[in-house]
Amino acid sequence: MAVKDKQQIMVITASIFIAFILWLYVMGEKNPVLVRTIEDIPVTLYNTENISRSNLVMLPDQTFTINLTVKGRALDVFKVTKDDFKVEADMGGYLKRGDNNIPVEIKRKPQGIEVVSEGIFPYIRVKLDNLVAKAFPVNINVTGIPKQGYDNLEPIVKPSEILVVGPEEYINKVYYVEGQVDVTGSFSDINNSIVVKPYDRERRQVFNVETDPRYVDVFVSIKSAKQVPIKVVTKNSLPKGKVLKDINLTEPNIYILGDAKILNNIKEIETKPIDLQNIYQTTSKQVELNIPKGVFLKNKENSILVELAVENIIQKEIKLPISFQNQKEEYIYSPSQEEVTLIIRGSESQINQIDLKQFTAILDVSELSEGEFTVPIKIIKPEYFEVVNVEPEKIKLKISKK
């Protein structure tokens, strides 16, 4: 069995050797014609300046290659590589937005090799888009926090508007352009030239476009800073029968910046005076702030929303029991009546929520002894109520010993 296997191996080996000798003979003596496809041959574009002259631009991520079928003697064909070819495409003709089929020219090929066209002349597909330039205002994103006790004003940028140039498909994605300045730990002014980049609505950078110019100059002023209250200033009086119940501010305090010497002397920021004489009801007004010279506001908002809560003044009648003050135990006190009637005046909300426990009608008998007297009534009340009338103002009082 082993001898038989050995014989088979020798037969196979001999067959392969004979086939190889025959192949060498055929290739060396006969050298037959052979057809082969060469793939991914690079194509060079020329006259590309015609693209921009046509107000077009090439879309990114395009690779231009072709496949060529060649024919020649077998020994020549087997040696051919894609680098043996020089293939060009002329962009100097008519161009349009979208796909452009550009014929290629074979400028160089190996000697003894024929390119088989098979009736179809080779071309490449070049994708072009409209070349667009669109103006955008420059946003500056200030990051970081200055040194404690300092803050930055709004940055000043030059130029304040730049062009974004590129394919229309990508320009349409641009929503804003932005540069970044870091003020971390700063206590003096910053003056830098920075790169600006285009972004879409989701804050993703848009690539394949260019900004013109690429850099902008940014100045960021760093000043001493502190917070102070806002004081609302009024002039004249409300119309008759009206009362100013309250003044409300959207922001009771304001953040101011400036030189330290100036800020040290500022305890509050006043509003421009609000004229009350024509205000008949609760009103909201945007009121300008009176900013001293040399003082700056970070957000440049030089006004504040002020609500003037105005109410009607109304009157109400109330009755109060009479109380004695500084009584002596040896006497009996007999007033001519047990209560008094008051007419009080105040704002509508205060009158409607009145608490009689806040009011007291008092007879002070500290200086009186046995006898009959006419004693004035003293009214104790909250200061925001006005007593219009007390009936009676005095009462008769008889004091006798027990």
In a 13 Å sphere around the CA of 381, the CA atoms on its Cβ side amount to: 21
Weakly modelled stretches of the chain, pLDDT under 70: 1-30, 118-119
- Domain boundaries, given as residue ranges, for the chain: 1-29, 30-130, 131-222, 225-312, 314-401
Q: For residue 316, which of 351, 292, 285, 279 has the smallest C-alpha distance?
A: 351
Classify each residue of 4-41 as buried b or exposed e, where b means 16 or more C-beta atoms within 10 Å of its C-beta.
eeeeeeeeeeeeeeeeeeeeeeeeeeeeeeeeeebeeb
Kindly list the distances between the CA atom of residue 30 and the CA atoms of 17, 25, 110, 113, 131, in Å, as whole numbers in the listed order.
Answer: 19, 7, 21, 17, 58
Q: Cβ(183)–Cβ(147) under 8 Å?
A: no
pLDDT computed for residue 368 by the predictor: 84
Domains 30-130 and 314-401 share a fold: yes
What residues contact residue 71 under an 8 Å CB cut-off, 6+ apart? Answer: 33, 34, 35, 36, 77, 113, 114, 115, 116
At the top level of CATH, the class of 225-312 is: mainly beta
Strands 269-270 and 222-231: parallel
pLDDT computed for residue 5 by the predictor: 58
At the top level of CATH, the class of 314-401 is: mainly beta
What residues contact residue 117 under an 8 Å CB cut-off, 6+ apart? Answer: none
Q: Give the number of other CB atoms < 10 A from CB of residue 121.
A: 9
Q: Distance between CA atoms of 181 and 160, rounded to whole angstroms?
A: 15
Q: Transcribe 114-177 into DSSP letters.
A: EEE-TT---EEEEEEEEEEEEEEEEEEEEES--STTEEEPPPEEESSEEEEEEEHHHHTT--EE
Q: For the domain covering 30-130, report its CATH number.
A: 2.170.120.30
pLDDT computed for residue 189 by the predictor: 95
pLDDT computed for residue 14 by the predictor: 57
Q: Distance between CA atoms of 385 and 316, rounded to whole angstroms?
A: 11
Could you tell me how many helices (H) and strands (E) the chain has, helices first? Answer: 6, 31
For domain 131-222, say whether CATH 1.10.10.10 is its number: no
The predicted-structure confidence for 84-126, as pLDDT tens digits, reads as follows 999 999 999 999 999 999 999 999 999 989 888 765 778 999 9
pLDDT computed for residue 21 by the predictor: 55
Cβ burial of 356 (10 Å; 0-12, 13-18, 19+) is exposed
Q: Distance between CA atoms of 361 and 320, rounded to whole angstroms?
A: 6
Report the SS3 class of residue 84. Answer: helix
